Amino acid sequence: MGIRTFIAIEIPQDIRDSINVAIAPLKKLLADSVKWISPDNVHLTLKFLGDTPEERLEGIETAIARATGGFGPMQVEARGAGAFPNIRKPSVIWAGMECPPVLLDLKGLIEAELASLGFEEDTRPFSPHLTVGRVKRGAIVPRRRLAAEMEKLEGMIFGKMEIREIVLMKSDLRPGGAVYTRLYSSDLSAGHTY
């Protein structure tokens, strides 16, 4: 068995704090129905790799470096909230992240580089989001009240940030929640700022 890994963008503390304050009414409403993600663990996943043999890490790091070469820092905004697959039958509660075309380009290059290493390409459209909670299996969710709370968050801006690096993370699943460790980061400073 390998180590559980994913490629992500880390979110600044001020934005995580802003999201945490904004979703406090949701946490109260769904206290028994949702397993909330620690604000420290909120991030933007670009690619989940799953169990990865340690001997493949070097190749993954090289692939990330190739994919990110030429990209500069990117300005994005965290705003809004929602649920997957939808508010009527939520399984994931998320805060939104805008997706400028350059971020889509970067995601596509990361997918292509990893596909060349044998990782399966994600064919679903990229929908950047920050997972803040997961609905527990079999939980009853008060849909009308949830929809009303989500409507309040729809246009809310949590903050602007500059994406300056792409990070390969290790995820250790523990009873108290996942613990993330940075394994590698690729600096986005070689290219043009977007």
> Which two three-digit tokens encode residue 54?
């340690």
Distance CA 102, CA 119 (A): 22
Preceding omega of 85 cis (within 30 degrees of 0): yes
Closest CA to 84 of 96, 98, 72: 96
Residue 191 is predicted with a pLDDT of: 56
Q: Is 129 a catalytic residue?
A: yes
Residue 40 is predicted with a pLDDT of: 94
Q: Is 192 a catalytic residue?
A: no
70, pLDDT greater than 90: no
- Calculate the average pLDDT of the chain: 93
Share of the chain above pLDDT 90, in %: 84
**Domains, in order of start, for the chain:** 3-187 (3.90.1140.10)
91, pLDDT greater than 70: yes
194 pLDDT tier (thresholds 50, 70, 90): very low
Model's pTM, two decimal places?
0.92
34 phi-psi bin (left φ>0, alpha ψ -120 to 50, beta other): beta
Name the β-bridge partners of 71.
Answer: 192
Residue 111 is predicted with a pLDDT of: 97
101, pLDDT greater than 80: yes
Name the β-bridge partners of 74.
Answer: 163
Residue-wise pLDDT for 118-165, tens only, equals 999 998 889 999 999 999 999 989 989 999 999 999 989 999 999 999
101-115 and 57-68 helices cross at what angle (nearest 10)?
150
Residue 2 is predicted with a pLDDT of: 86
Q: What is the DSSP letter of 71?
A: B
> Which two three-digit tokens encode residue 190?
């070689």
190, pLDDT greater than 90: no
Question: Beta strand pairing status for 74-84 and 157-163?
Answer: antiparallel
Cα–Cα–Cα angle for 97, 103, 109, rounded to 5 degrees: 140
10 in helix, strand or coil? strand
In terms of pLDDT, which residue wins out, 67 or 140? 67
Residue tagged active-site, from 11, 37, 43, 49: 43
C-beta separation of 171 from 4 below 8 A = yes
Residue-wise pLDDT for 2-49, tens only, equals 899 999 999 999 999 999 999 999 999 999 999 999 999 999 999 999
Residue tagged active-site, from 129, 141, 167, 188: 129
Distance CA 188, CA 62 (A): 14
Residue 175 burial by Cβ neighbours in a 10 Å radius (0-12, 13-18, 19+): exposed
Residue 165 is predicted with a pLDDT of: 96
